[in-house]
Structure formats: C-alpha cells, structure tokens
C-alpha cells in the first residue's frame, strides 16, 4: 500500500461514520466489557454527528472488491482541537485491510494535519493495539517525545485502566 486518500467527514459521510462506529465499538467490546443496548446498537458516545470546531473525523475509501465503487475501509476521530491537546479518540480499519499499513498511514496523516500536543488511549489487553500505538507514536511524534501512563476508566472501576500515550 503506497498511498491512501484521507478525506474529512462531511455531509452524508456522517451517516457512513455512524455505521462504521458500530464496527469500531464491536471490536472494542471484548476489551471494555460492552454489550449492545436494547436497540441492538453499541454506545454512540464519542461519535461525531456533524461539523464541529473541536472535532474532526476522517474516512479512507478504497474500491470495493465486487463493485469497484469507493467503499469506506477506515476512519479516525480527533477531539480537543480547540483545547490544549488533540486526542485521537477513535481509529478503526476494516478487518480485510488490517495489517496492510493503512491504519498507521491514516494515524500519521491525521497527526500531521493537527500540529500540537497529543493524547491517545488504548487497552493493554489489546496486544495488537499496544504494539501499533507505540510504533505509531515513535513515528508520528518521535521516539523519546512521548510517555505512556495508565488512567482509570471513568465511571467503571471494575475495568483495567486504559493506557494513554501523551506527547511531552
């Protein structure tokens, strides 16, 4: 995978993002002890639903293998754009294109679009995420320019703490 086209979510893309959000939350469910709500959907907390000065969401599309039409295969959400630190609050890549480098390229593209201090969180039990985010932090922020800290999960002391990468 040489290059990808990362586009900011706008207009009808917010509905596409909402569908993909369910895939993202499903992937996290095993690490955060989540089950769908009574309506069958996972929690929408953190899902952007429209334009905002403080939040930016991005989609990556590739030709669908059966139709050739541009199909969404990844997204990223950045929060805190008007605050002291940008927060890469969500990143998801469709399973068939994982391990192709797309997630790393998307994360690095988004980091480069928003200069400044950063934070991002992951669950230690998700070993693929642990390795991914540490490598991506070294590449995106620079080795030795970030630290990793543990923080309790708000409102649920029964869960293991999240791991946070913070730029120095």
Phi-psi region of 162 (alpha: psi -120 to 50; beta: other; left: phi over 0): beta
Say how far apart CA 107 and CA 113 lie, in whole Å: 10
Say how far apart CA 74 and CA 131 lie, in whole Å: 19
Phi-psi region of 14 (alpha: psi -120 to 50; beta: other; left: phi over 0): alpha
Closest CA to 90 of 102, 74, 101, 105: 74
Closest CA to 165 of 123, 121, 130: 121
CB 60 within 8 A of CB 102: yes
Domains of the chain (ranges plus CATH)?
A: 6-167 (3.40.630.30)
* Residue showing tokens 């089950």: 35
Chain-centroid distance, C-alpha 48: 12
Q: What is the dihedral of CA 149, 58, 111, 117, to 10 degrees?
A: -60
Dig out the tokens for 54 from the structure: 């403080």
Q: What is the dihedral of CA 57, 12, 7, 79, to 10 degrees?
A: -10
- Tell me the whole-structure pTM to 2 decimals: 0.95
Which pLDDT does position 1 carry in this prediction?
58
Which pLDDT does position 155 carry in this prediction?
84
pLDDT per residue rounded down to tens, the chain (168 residues): 567 899 999 999 999 999 999 999 999 999 888 999 999 999 999 999 999 999 999 999 999 999 999 999 999 999 999 999 999 999 999 999 999 999 999 999 999 999 999 999 999 999 999 999 999 999 999 999 999 999 998 888 888 999 999 999
Q: Phi/psi of residue 18, each to 5°?
A: -60, -40
Q: What's the first-to-final CA gap in the chain, in angstroms? A: 31
């Amino acid at each position: 995978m040489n290059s990808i086209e990362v586009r900011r979510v706008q207009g009808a893309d917010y509905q596409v993002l909402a569908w993909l959000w369910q895939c993202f939350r499903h992937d996290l469910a095993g690490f955060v002890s989540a089950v769908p709500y009574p309506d069958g959907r996972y929690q929408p907390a953190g899902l952007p639903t429209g334009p905002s000065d403080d939040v930016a969401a991005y989609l990556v599309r590739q030709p669908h293998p059966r139709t050739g039409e541009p199909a969404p295969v990844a997204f990223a959400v950045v929060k805190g754009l008007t605050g002291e630190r940008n927060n890469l609050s969500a990143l998801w890549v469709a399973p068939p294109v994982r391990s192709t480098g797309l997630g790393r390229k998307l994360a690095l593209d988004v980091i480069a679009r928003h200069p400044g201090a950063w934070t991002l969180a992951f669950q230690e039990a998700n070993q693929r995420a642990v390795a991914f985010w540490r490598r991506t932090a070294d590449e995106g922020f620079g080795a030795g320019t970030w630290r990793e800290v543990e923080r309790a999960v708000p409102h649920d002391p029964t869960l293991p703490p999240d791991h946070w990468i913070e730029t120095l």
